[in-house]
């Protein structure tokens, strides 16, 4: 499912790129809007970690890739600042049948549920390096993203229509993420423009996380470095 969505996005941007040469007016005659609103569609998967106080030195995590809505303010032809909010929720359920290690010899139905909810705030700065052919601005980008997440894991056993709760873990926490890279933007209509960002640096800045978590959070796959956006000029 995720691979199909990625392919669809790449095809969409290819078609928009073809449309660019036919429909975009000369950029020297195109108004640069100081204020814009838009959406961001990242492919990057982050992992937010939670401290489980019931088990010493134990961390749990949930993964998220949160779409966002944002506002952009352009200071001048080179520099802009963007602020946004995003959200993602995920629930996974499993059911199995087994015999507990309690000597009873009974068979029980085991239901497991994992639920996570993540809200993010993004603060992004862009600085244009060059404007290729006066139509394709290429820029550097840096983002700070605090994320607040909640995590719940439950496990119940059912035997002879009687259900008992064996596990109910509730956790929450805040992690701070940083991202940096480069990107380019293009205009498809008078007010509508798109962005493609390549975030080669991604790091969880939250202190006191175990060493394995920091290494695990740096994704090596290029496709997960991409983030797409659409902006609409206001004034």
What DSSP string runs through 200-232? EEEEE--TT--HHHHHHHS---GGGGEEEEEEE
Mean pLDDT of 37-66: 88
* Sign of the torsion angle spanned by Cα atoms 12, 15, 17, 20: negative
Write the pLDDT tens digit of every residue in 118-177. Answer: 999 999 999 999 988 878 899 999 999 999 999 999 999 998 889 999 999 999 999 999
Distance CA 12, CA 156 (A): 44
Distance CA 235, CA 231 (A): 12
Q: Could you tell me which residue, 13 or 101, shows the higher pLDDT? A: 101
Confidence of residue 190 (pLDDT cuts 50, 70, 90): confident
Q: How many residues does the chain have?
A: 235
* Sign of the torsion angle spanned by Cα atoms 48, 52, 55, 57: positive
Mean pLDDT of 96-111: 84
CATH code, domain with 149: 2.40.160.20
Residue 147: how many CB atoms within 10 A of its CB?
Answer: 22
Q: What's the domain count of the chain?
A: 1
How high is the mean pLDDT of the chain? Answer: 83
Global pTM exceeds 0.85: no
Write the pLDDT tens digit of every residue in 194-214. Answer: 999 999 898 999 987 765 544
Q: Domain range for residue 107?
A: 2-233
């Amino acid at each position: 499912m995720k691979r199909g969505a990625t392919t669809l996005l790449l095809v969409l941007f290819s078609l928009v790129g073809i449309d660019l040469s036919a429909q975009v007016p000369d950029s020297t005659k195109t108004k640069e809007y100081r204020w814009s609103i838009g959406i961001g569609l990242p492919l990057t998967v982050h992992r937010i970690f939670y401290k489980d106080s019931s088990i010493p030195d134990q961390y749990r995590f949930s993964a998220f890739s949160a779409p966002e809505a944002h506002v952009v303010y352009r200071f001048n032809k080179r520099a802009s600042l963007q602020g946004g909010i995003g959200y993602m929720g995920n629930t996974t359920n499993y059911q199995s049948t087994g015999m507990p290690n309690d000597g009873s010899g009974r068979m029980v139905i085991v239901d497991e549920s994992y639920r996570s909810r993540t809200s993010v705030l993004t603060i992004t700065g862009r600085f244009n390096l060059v404007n290729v052919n006066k139509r394709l601005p290429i820029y550097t980008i840096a983002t700070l993203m605090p994320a607040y997440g909640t995590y719940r894991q439950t496990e119940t056993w059912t035997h002879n229509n009687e259900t008992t709760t064996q596990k109910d873990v509730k956790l929450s926490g805040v992690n701070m993420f940083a991202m940096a890279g480069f990107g380019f933007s293009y205009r498809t209509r008078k007010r509508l423009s798109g962005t493609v960002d390549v975030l080669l640096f991604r790091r969880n800045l939250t202190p006191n996380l175990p060493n394995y978590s920091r290494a695990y959070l740096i994704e090596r796959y290029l496709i997960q470095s991409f983030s797409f956006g659409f902006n609409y000029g206001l004034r």
